Structure 1
């Protein structure tokens, strides 16, 4: 188990030693008897209680801190993955982050225009070590969002991979995994920043900040 220790440690970003994180993890798993059951409970909390929102700040490491995401109750894929990793570590479930470039065939036209395409270069999800193996889990899109947009919600049984689906409820292409970008014991912020700039251009974060402000102004 020594090899797993680094996937159990708290970090400044995956702050599994934070009081709010530890209390929430205990509350969510107090009725669970097994590791798969605990992992499943944590997953569904992050999937549904932390609403998916891509229009949030992401240009500084502190915007990804797990306890911050827990308090805000919203975030995009990487932020939600960080929170699940922290909750898992708080319950002694080894966890790590995994990044991949994906193509979202159903991205809204306005966002597609802003990004210059439908490639998301740093989609983030989790890998949890359960019953002797790493299991992939993506708590990205909350159930309400899935129902509103006819997306297939990711379901997790606590034991098998649960990643974003290839098709939506109407059989239209949804998620295409384009490039694997590896697993990480902590948030690789610099890599995420560089991959986004490489894909979206050097002014991406400035444009995103302005877009977020504009959306706040419009309410």
Structure 2
């Protein structure tokens, strides 16, 4: 089925990805249970870090991301998609633009804006239904921000924390770029450079940034 194949980026045949999904490969587990288990693992075991930007192709391979302890929303989505495909569950990358409303001081300082783009999430196909989910914000970060972590039940979309626990606006999607069978790296590069030109003004040939 489409969205189930390996690729340069979704290299789930690599031993590191096989090791990642090994605990979810028990035959008695349903695809729904496997998806929930892997989603929760990727969400919490890789801490969210939006301040590392890379334009280097090799840094977006799942087998590279799995070796790290942190990841931004796109990186964590890539890792989750590779794991799902490795278990035979169709999955694809979905990109958009989001605006954050809580703890934005550093975002504005580094990015010049409280909008993050491209923001990545995952579409997974369970029981012939495409569902959205976002593994970006780890549970410990959500607790710090007083936001309920996104839980995925395998039956409903779970990709947006619109408000925190006090009812204050947390985040919103401002633009939807659609879904992709593979990682659209050239689109992502163009998107980043268009939205954050100041980052590249004096560093045209640099492909990796720590903001």
**Common fold by TM > 0.5:** yes
Contact 1:66 1:86 in 2 (8 A): yes
C-alpha separation between the residues in 1 aligned to 2:209 and 2:125?
38
Counting helix residues as a fraction of each chain, which structure ranks higher?
Answer: 1
Deviation at 1:102, TM superposition (A): 0.9
What secondary structure, in the 3-state scheme, does the structure 1 residue paired with 2:94 have? Answer: strand
Contact 2:134 2:159 in 1 (8 A): yes
Match among 174, 195, 219 for residue 170 of structure 2: 174
C-alpha separation between the residues in 2 aligned to 1:106 and 1:63?
29
List runs of 5+ in structure 2 lacking aligned partners. none
C-alpha separation between the residues in 2 aligned to 1:209 and 1:135?
33
Deviation at 1:151, TM superposition (A): 1.9
C-alpha separation between the residues in 1 aligned to 2:43 and 2:199?
31
Contact 1:137 1:161 in 2 (8 A): yes
User: In the alignment, is residue 39 of structure 1 matched against residue 39 of structure 2?
Assistant: no
Deviation at 1:103, TM superposition (A): 0.7
List runs of 5+ in structure 1 lacking aligned partners. none
Q: Provide runs of 4+ in structure 1 moved above 3 Å.
A: 202-211
- TM-score when normalising by structure 1: 0.88
- TM-score when normalising by structure 2: 0.92
Deviation at 1:31, TM superposition (A): 7.3
Q: 1:95-134 counterparts in 2 under 5 A?
A: 95-134=91-130
User: In the alignment, is residue 65 of structure 1 matched against residue 61 of structure 2?
Assistant: yes
Larger CA deviation: 140-149 vs 101-110: 101-110
Q: What's the Cα RMSD here?
A: 2.1
Q: Which residue of 1 aligns with 2:48?
A: 52
